[in-house]
Chains A and B, each alone.
Chain A
Amino acid sequence: MRVLLVDDEEELVSALAERLLLRDIDAEWFTTGTDALQRVESGCFDLAVLDMKMPKISGLALREKLHAKCPAMKFIFLTGYGSEKDFASATAKVGTADYLVKPVDIEVLLGRMHELLNSERGVK
């Protein structure tokens, strides 16, 4: 499994990538959408885990751009939204199945990754 991680919180995304690598998942991390887009020029990933709220390119806008380059790539969104209302408005945009609220349990994230890759119900 090849996973692209994008979050502007460097100490978060680098630690998450390391944890996935320790579980034999090939993970690469970036702190900006621009860098991630540049990276996919040289090859696609199976799945991308994107922070919803990032400067310059939001997670949702980045998904559109990544999907245009890599149509088969699946997506999971992470967010710091705290309230039920925030959660509802965000899930309306992306679908609850592909959306996790920070802090995320690694086992929950792994479960969601496998679910997405073993089925065809990812957000395209």
Chain B
Amino acid sequence: MNQKAQISNDKGLRFFGKMTASVTHEIKNALATINENAGLLTDYIAMAARGRPLDTEQLNKLSMRIKDQVKRADTLLKTLNRLAHSVDDPIKTVNLSEILQLFALLSVRFAAPRGITVDIGGRPESINIQTSPLLLLNALFLCLEFSMEATGRSQCIELKPEKTDTGVRIYFSPLPGIDRLSNDSFLSSQIPDLLENLTADFIIDTEAKSVALDLSDPLRPS
């Protein structure tokens, strides 16, 4: 493996760790919420044993809360499982719609604390591309981090994929605050090796108020 590929792999591993830590932290929160609500149920039952009547409405509410949190934890575990399988093959055919859905789930914990939502629209047209799923997720995440600095008053970042002659381009917009950001430091410090290994490019369009990840399909004839 050449040095650039090694650097890119190391960055991919760090990204994988960061996402895993984030999702498992969220799972802990779901479990802690289940723990408190189950504990409260136990408290009510203990009080009923001492003669206080049970409030069925309260019990029902707690039961619903527990069910909701189990569902939340299940969604998080499925997300983690999909992330884990993203490294099964270094390069494979990726359904862009599916990878964007996974990306949206992974990015919630980073965007939501800043009051930002990530919108991937309905189900975008079916686009398949040969790429590294993990490196693509990593590049998308770096684009999102850049975009979150440029949202200005907009609190929603929309991701829109479009087919190109050589692959696909994924737009992040609207970014009204993009003018005041310097892309030089971002590009030089963060992603050149990653982009090279992905055969991708990062495009900033200050007029359209967007950034885009331009991804080439290495197996597509040019």
**Using a CB–CB distance below 8 Å, which chain A residues touch chain B?**
9, 11-12, 15-16, 18-19, 22, 53, 55-56, 78, 80-83, 86, 102-104, 106
**Given A22-B43, A106-B39, A11 contacting B28 (CB threshold 8 A):** no
**Given A22-B47, A56-B113, A80 contacting B29 (CB threshold 8 A):** yes
A70 and B37 CA atoms in complex are apart in Å by 30
Q: Is B92 an interface residue (CB 8 A)?
A: no
A56 and B113 CA atoms in complex are apart in Å by 7
**Majority SS at the chain B contact face:** helix
Q: Is B65 an interface residue (CB 8 A)?
A: yes
Return the contact of A19 from the options B33, B34, B39, B68 (Cβ within 8 A): B39
Q: Is B32 an interface residue (CB 8 A)?
A: yes
Q: Are A53 and B25 in contact (CB under 8 A)?
A: yes
B58 to chain A, nearest CB (A): 9
Q: Is B89 an interface residue (CB 8 A)?
A: no
Q: Are B28 and A82 in contact (CB under 8 A)?
A: yes
Count of chain B residues with a beta carbon within 8 Å of a chain A beta carbon: 24
A11 and B24 CA atoms in complex are apart in Å by 18
**Given A11-B69, A12-B36, A55-B113, A19 contacting B28 (CB threshold 8 A):** no
Residues in chain B near residue A15, CB distance under 8 A: 33, 36-37, 39-40, 62, 65
A82 and B76 CA atoms in complex are apart in Å by 15
Q: Is B35 an interface residue (CB 8 A)?
A: yes
Docked complex: B39-79 residues within 8 A CB-CB of A: 39-40, 43, 47, 62, 65, 68-69
Q: Are B24 and A9 in contact (CB under 8 A)?
A: no
Residues in chain B near residue A81, CB distance under 8 A: 25, 28
Q: A86-B21, A102-B31 are in contact. List 15 more A-B contacts (CB 8 A).
A: A9-B29, A11-B69, A12-B36, A19-B40, A19-B43, A22-B47, A53-B25, A80-B25, A82-B21, A83-B21, A102-B29, A102-B35, A103-B35, A104-B32, A104-B35
Q: Are B37 and A80 in contact (CB under 8 A)?
A: no
Return the contact of A80 from the options B28, B47, B65, B69 (Cβ within 8 A): B28
Residues in chain B near residue A12, CB distance under 8 A: 29, 32-33, 36
Q: List 9 A-B contacts (CB under 8 A).
A: A9-B32, A12-B33, A15-B36, A19-B39, A22-B47, A80-B25, A80-B29, A103-B28, A103-B32
Return the contact of B25 from the options A16, A55, A78, A82 (Cβ within 8 A): A82
In the complex, what residue of chain B is closest to A86 when comparing beta carbons? B21
